[in-house]
A and B are shown apart, each in its own frame.
Chain A
Amino acid sequence: MHAAVITFPGSNCDRDLTVAFAQAGARVSRVWHKDTSLPDGVDVVGIPGGFSFGDYLRCGAIAANSPICRAVVAHAGRGGYVLGICNGFQVLTETRLLPGALMRNAGLKFVCRTIDLTVASTDSVFTDGYQAGQTLRVPVAHHDGNYTASAEELSALRDEDRIAFTYGEPVNGSAMDIAGVLSANRRVLGMMPHPERAAEEAQGSTDGRQIFAGLVGALTAA
C-alpha cells in the first residue's frame, strides 16, 4: 500500500502523518505542493495539519488551488482514497471534494486539548475497525473547526451515514457536532481531530491508530 503525504509551506503535521502511515505498514512518499503529479501507484493521499500558506485569505484556500491539489482532485475522481486532517480537512472542503466549510470556532479561541471523539459511521475503510458509538481520545488543535453546511447538505450527510465522527463534548460549535465527514463514495475523509497524534503509546493515546491500520489493511488486501 502506497501513501503520499503532501507538504505545503506551513504544514506542521506532515512528518507525524508520514510516521503514522509507515507504522501501519504503508510505503510513504513525501510530495511537495509544487509537484504537478502524484507518484505512480499511490493508493491514498494524506493532507496534513498545519497552517498552509499562513492561513492567508481563508484556511486551506490557497493550498486547495496549488498544483498538487489538482492532482489530488483527479486522484479522488478516479476513486482514489484521501485523508485530510485538520488543515487537510479545510483544504478538502476548499477543493469541494467534501461539502461544507470550516469557520472560526464559535468560542473564538484556538482549542488545543485531547477530546472525546465519537465514531458515528463505521461504514468506511477508515472507521470499520471501530465500534459504532465508540468514544476515542484524540487531540484537537485548531482555530477554525466550526463545521457548517447548508441544511440540505447536513441532511444528506446524516441520511447517507457520511458523518464519520462527532464530538463527544462541546469543542467549536460545529453543526450537528460534526468532527469528520466522508465523501459520497466514502473514500475521502476529512476530520479536524488528529489521529496521527494518537497513534503510539508515547503520545498518550493509541485510539487513532486504527484509522491508518484499517486503511492499510483494506488497500493491501485489495
Chain B
Amino acid sequence: MKARVHVMLKNGVLDPQGEAVRHALSTLGFAGVNGVRQGKVIELDLDQTDPEAARAEVARMCETLLANTVIESYTVEIG
C-alpha cells in the first residue's frame, strides 16, 4: 500500500523560501502570484494493507520524524 505525506510550514510561519520563489516568479514576468508556500512530499511504500491502520501508522511516523509539528503541519493520503 502506498502513502503520500505532504509536509508544509504551518500557516503564520514565515516561509522565506516560498517568498524567494514568489519574488523570482515576479521577476520572470509571472504577474498575479500573491503567495508561494514551499513544502515537501514524502512517498512511502508500506506492507500494511488496511487503509485505516496504514493512516494511523503514517501519522505516528509524521509525529515522530517526518514533520516537526512545532513549525510544520502534515496531511496523509493513502492509496
Contact = CB atoms under 8 A, between A and B. Distances in A.
A59 B64 CA distance: 15
A108 B70 contact: no
Given A101-B70, A148-B71, A108 B16 contact: yes
Q: How large is the interface on B (under 10, 10 to 19, 20 to 34, 35 or more residues)?
A: 10 to 19
A187 interface: no
Interface in A78-95: 93-94
A95 B49 CA distance: 31
Interface in A54-98: 57-58, 61-62, 65, 93-94
Contacts, number: 36
Contact of B16 (A58, A93, A173): A173
Nearest to B9: A103
A65 B65 contact: yes
A103 B18 CA distance: 13
Contact of B65 (A61, A103, A149, A150): A61
Contacts of A149: 70
Contacts of B9: 103
Interface of A: 57-58, 61-62, 65, 93-94, 99-101, 103-108, 146, 148-150, 173
Interface of B: 9, 13-14, 16-17, 20, 64-66, 68, 70-71
